[in-house]
């Protein structure tokens, strides 16, 4: 499951990256003749004459590339100890809540109040730990995405120009979160961009797990299984 936090940051990063790329290309176009003027404009400054509309899933392009998979898997590995720690805290909480559910009618008033207070205190600590871990993971995941996108963006522009596209629409978010209702595989350039970027980066494909080739997993923020939802102890 892709983190909503990461999705928002990635969308912002993509906007600024391509805006900066367009501004750089425009600024690099020479306005006067002179020595070296013919070589001062990069390929990205060439106006597009294409008319086709294409789509790309930026998140998939980044994290399904060899570099994105490698760095994403390394980040997941880095957070495995935190994942285990959060699972231990969650298991402890669930045990206390089960105890409250099964013994609340047998406990005296003081013992019951102490158990509820213990659950409430541990719940706050757990929720805060999950939030901190998700933010930390999201920031580091965003750093990976932004770094790769900086290198991938010029490739996307060049590929689009070379193949007659006049506009490329990001389909990372499904409708109705985005304005794209439907698109066909024929106009999607995600796979082509991934393949071209793998060649450009020179990063080899990560080793497939035992048992066969697996589809690259989407980044997932630390949590217990999936992102845990705050829970409250049952009322008396």
Question: pLDDT for 147-189, tens place per residue?
Answer: 999 999 999 999 999 999 999 999 999 888 888 888 889 999 9
Backbone angles phi, psi at 118, to 5 degrees: -65, -45
In a domain, 236, yes or no: no
In a domain, 67, yes or no: yes
Give the residue, 205 or 13, on which the prediction is more confident. Answer: 205
pLDDT band at 205 (very low <50, low <70, confident <90, very high): very high
Total domain count for the chain? 1
Give the residue, 42 or 133, on which the prediction is more confident. Answer: 133
User: What is the residue range of 160's domain?
Assistant: 4-20+48-201
In a domain, 158, yes or no: yes
The reported pTM is: 0.70
Six token digits for residue 11: 């969308």
> What local confidence, expressed as pLDDT, does residue 30 receive?
37
In a domain, 32, yes or no: no
Distance (Å, whole) CA 223 – CA 83: 6
pLDDT band at 207 (very low <50, low <70, confident <90, very high): confident
Nearest 5°: CA angle at 61, between 4 and 177?
A: 35
């Amino acid at each position: 499951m892709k983190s909503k936090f990461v999705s928002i940051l990635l969308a912002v990063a993509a906007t600024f990256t391509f805006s900066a790329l367009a501004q750089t290309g425009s600024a690099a176009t020479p306005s006067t003749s002179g020595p070296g003027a013919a070589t001062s404009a990069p390929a990205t400054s060439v106006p597009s004459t294409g008319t086709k509309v294409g789509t790309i899933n930026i998140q998939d392009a980044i994290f399904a590339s060899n570099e994105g998979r490698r760095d994403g898997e390394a980040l997941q590995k880095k957070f495995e100890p935190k994942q285990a720690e959060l699972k231990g805290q969650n298991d402890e909480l669930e045990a206390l809540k089960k105890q409250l559910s099964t013994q609340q009618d047998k406990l005296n008033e003081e013992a019951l109040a102490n158990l509820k207070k213990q659950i409430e205190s541990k719940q706050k600590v757990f929720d805060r730990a999950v939030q901190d871990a998700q933010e930390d993971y999201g920031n580091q995941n965003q750093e990976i995405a932004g770094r790769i996108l900086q290198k991938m963006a010029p490739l996307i522009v060049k590929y689009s120009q070379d193949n007659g596209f006049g506009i490329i629409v990001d389909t990372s978010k499904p409708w109705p979160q985005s304005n794209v209702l439907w698109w066909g595989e024929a106009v999607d350039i995600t796979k082509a961009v991934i393949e071209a970027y793998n060649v450009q980066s020179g990063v080899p494909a990560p080793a497939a797990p035992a048992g066969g080739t697996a589809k690259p997993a989407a980044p997932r923020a630390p949590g217990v299984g999936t992102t845990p939802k705050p829970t409250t102890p049952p009322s008396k």
